């Protein structure tokens, strides 16, 4: 399962970088391309923006911090992924998705000292984001689900099995 996880990380990171490359080559900076509209309401657009901070441009200009912390978190995530590789497919997939998003944005920060964002969800005033951000959020949610629900269920089953064995 560990090899599968590494392949998933590489594939998702590659998808992120290829989309960003396409955006940079095909959409001029700050230009907006409407993709989905319902009646007079814009729903989804593609744009090309750069963000030298984290979400909502928090810590803008703090490149070394925004490079250093993700490196540490990714290394811890990879260690944890290896250590728990036989424990749960759900856990390893959630970590793989989370790590791939971190790596995708880290590559941008190292190369450009900023992240390429392009997805604009129009109905609410939400920051423009990218595929790597989606991976971080989905991976993080799945990781939390694992520890809040699945791990607790497994602990109860193990405890019940031990009590029945006695």
> Using CA atoms, how far apart are residues 152 and 150, in angstroms rounded to an integer?
5
> Using CA atoms, how far apart are residues 1 and 139, in angstroms rounded to an integer?
17
Q: Are 32 and 128 in contact (CB under 8 A)?
A: no
Active site residue: 16, 52, 117, 151, which one? 117
Structure-token pair, residue 111? 């190369």
Active site residue: 16, 52, 125, 133, which one? 133
Q: Are 110 and 23 in contact (CB under 8 A)?
A: no
| Whether residue 125 lies in the annotated active site | no
| Whether residue 117 lies in the annotated active site | yes
**Residue 70: which region, alpha, beta or left (left: phi > 0; alpha: psi -120 to 50)?**
alpha
> Using CA atoms, how far apart are residues 2 and 92, in angstroms rounded to an integer?
8
Catalytic annotation, residues:
117, 133
């Amino acid at each position: 399962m560990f090899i599968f996880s590494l392949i998933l990380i590489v594939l998702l990171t590659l998808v992120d970088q290829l989309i960003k490359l396409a955006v940079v080559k095909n959409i001029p900076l700050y230009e907006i391309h409407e993709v989905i509209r319902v009646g007079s309401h814009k729903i989804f657009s593609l744009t090309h923006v750069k963000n030298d901070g984290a979400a909502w441009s928090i810590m803008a200009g703090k490149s070394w911090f925004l490079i250093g912390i993700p490196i540490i978190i990714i290394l811890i995530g990879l260690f944890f992924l290896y250590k728990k590789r036989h424990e749960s497919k759900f856990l390893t997939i959630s970590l793989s998705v989370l790590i791939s998003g971190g790596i995708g944005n880290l590559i941008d920060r190292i190369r450009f000292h900023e992240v390429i964002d392009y997805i604009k969800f129009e109905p609410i005033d939400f920051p423009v984001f990218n595929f790597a951000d989606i991976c971080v959020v989905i991976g993080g949610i799945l990781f939390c689900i694992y520890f809040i629900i699945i791990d607790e269920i497994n602990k109860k089953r193990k405890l019940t099995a031990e009590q029945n064995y006695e």
